[in-house]
Amino acid sequence: MNGAPAGPSRGGRGLAQGEHTAHGACVSETPLGHRRWAIADGYIPRESHGPEPEMTSHETASILNASGHDAHVRFTIYFADREPAGPYEVTVPARRTRHVRFNDLNDPEPIPLGTDFSCVIESDQPIVVQHTRLDSRQAENALITTIAFPA
């Protein structure tokens, strides 16, 4: 938004917002995303059906770091009846994606199952966050997703 592109100016009029490397991949010059995101509806179902780990009930924050720098990301978890937990620290390398399962966040403490929570995600690089839940409490799984809120 407010970042001036580094590197030489482009004379062309084709695609205004990315440069493509020799092997064709886009490297964003202008920041892509936000540094703070929120997910309000967090909930890891207590039960699962189907083969593990693919069909285990889970809650995921998919994080895209399209920048040229590693992103140091911190999760803070909010609850209904106690002080927040965290920060949980995750690194998403430059030009990589990482689909973080909340079930795997154990340090400083595991996130309780069957409990309402919300989450704030902060990064030192612009990132994009999408929230997905696989609910396999019943025989057939249910899936939900939404782009998180860029706060």
Q: Which of residues 30-89 bind a copy of itself (CB under 8 A)?
A: 32-33, 35-36, 38-43, 50, 55, 60, 62-64, 66, 72, 74, 76, 78-81, 83-87
Choice from 10, 20, 53, 112 touching a copy of itself (CB under 8 A): 20
112 binds a copy of itself (CB under 8 A): no
Q: How is 48-66 classified by DSSP, letter by letter?
A: --SSTTTTS-EEEEEEEE-
Q: Residue 33, Cβ neighbours under 10 Å: how many?
A: 19
Closest of 67, 62, 65 to residue 18, by C-alpha? 67
Residue 39 near residue 121, CB atoms below 8 Å: yes
Contacting a copy of itself (CB under 8 A), which of 10, 25, 53, 110? 25
Q: Which amino acid is at 132?
A: T
CB of 109 to a copy of itself, least distance (A): 10
Q: Does the protein bind a copy of itself through residue 132 (CB under 8 A)?
A: yes
Q: Does residue 144 bind a copy of itself (CB under 8 A)? A: yes
Q: Does 97 bind a copy of itself (CB under 8 A)?
A: yes
Smallest distance from a copy of itself to CB 8, Å:
19
Q: How far is the CB of 102 from a copy of itself (least distance, A)?
A: 14
For a copy of itself, the closer of residues 102 and 122 by Cβ is 122
C-alpha–C-alpha distance, residues 131 and 59, integer Å = 8
Smallest gap from Cβ 68 to a copy of itself, in A, equals 12
Residue 103 phi, psi dihedral angles, 5° rounding: -60, -25
Per the structure block, which two tokens stand in for 120? Answer: 């704030």
**103, 83 contact by CB (below 8 A):** no
